[in-house]
Amino acid sequence: MTTEIADPAAVFASAFSLWQACQKHAEADKNLNLSECYNGMDEFMREVMRVANLFESWACSHVDFNSFDDVWPYLLQDKFGETCLEAVPPDELAGLSDADCFRVALRLRLPLIPDDKLPIPVDLAAPNPAAANSPFKKFRIQTVRESIEGKDCAVYGFDDEPFDPEYGVPFFGLYGLDENGFAEHIADRPTCKEALELAQNLAPGIDFVHLTIQVN
């Protein structure tokens, strides 16, 4: 897996965006005193920079920049701060971790490099090359997960909490779609690669072009 080199402009954009977002929250919430939360504004600035550097480092390893159409620093300047505060409150930035970087990336709809170690939501659909002789016009691969109690099985998507303690590890469902878009479950596989291989065995020549989370 290729790792990109950290972009100082992206770090600055993230830090500035987060600084502004925290100040906005402090203005709206008179009980939020950033100086008291971080033992001084100088320490708050250091924490903002730590978060910005951590996210840029994480992104360099996990974001598929070849599938990225926006200007990276501009997107971070516009969206990083508020999106980050959806994952971690402004008075708890010291606790922001790699897991929170992943949450932020999902909320930003960043194209992520497939990685079986991360619960990356997948929703792929491709036309069936043999549709003329099959009830399935398309095949679809989607991440799903079961509740810990086993009573519920739900689609796992971009807006869901990736580390929800009430659900187990996501797996990959393969579905056949008829001409009306009705989905028939075919099988489940533990990895996306195995689900792709099954689809290719069932429909030789099928082409799932987009294997990353797409910005939408």
Cα angle 123, 129, 135 (rounded to 5 degrees) comes to 80
What's the chain's average pLDDT?
90
pLDDT confidence of 2, banded at 50, 70, 90?
A: low
* 3-class secondary structure, 118: coil
- For the chain, the domains span 8-107, 123-202
Cα angle 163, 12, 47 (rounded to 5 degrees) comes to 55
**Percent over 90 (pLDDT), the chain:** 72
**pLDDT per position as a tens digit, 175-203:** 999 988 899 999 999 988 899 999 999 99
Other C-beta atoms closer than 10 Å to the C-beta of 209 total 6
Using the predicted structure, report yes or no on whether residue 215 has a pLDDT greater than 60.
Answer: no
Q: Which amino acid is at 102?
A: F
Asked if residue 202 lies in contact with residue 161, where contact means CB atoms within 8 angstroms, the answer is no
pLDDT higher at 211 or 49: 49
**pLDDT per position as a tens digit, 46-65:** 999 999 999 999 999 999 99
| pTM (2 d.p.) | 0.82
- Predicted confidence at residue 134, as pLDDT, reads 86
Q: How many residues does the chain have?
A: 216
Using the predicted structure, report yes or no on whether residue 74 has a pLDDT greater than 60.
Answer: yes
- Those residues with Cβ within 8 angstroms of residue 130's Cβ, 6 or more apart along the chain or in another chain: 203, 204
pLDDT confidence of 13, banded at 50, 70, 90?
A: very high
Residue 186 token pair = 């075919």
pLDDT higher at 213 or 94: 94
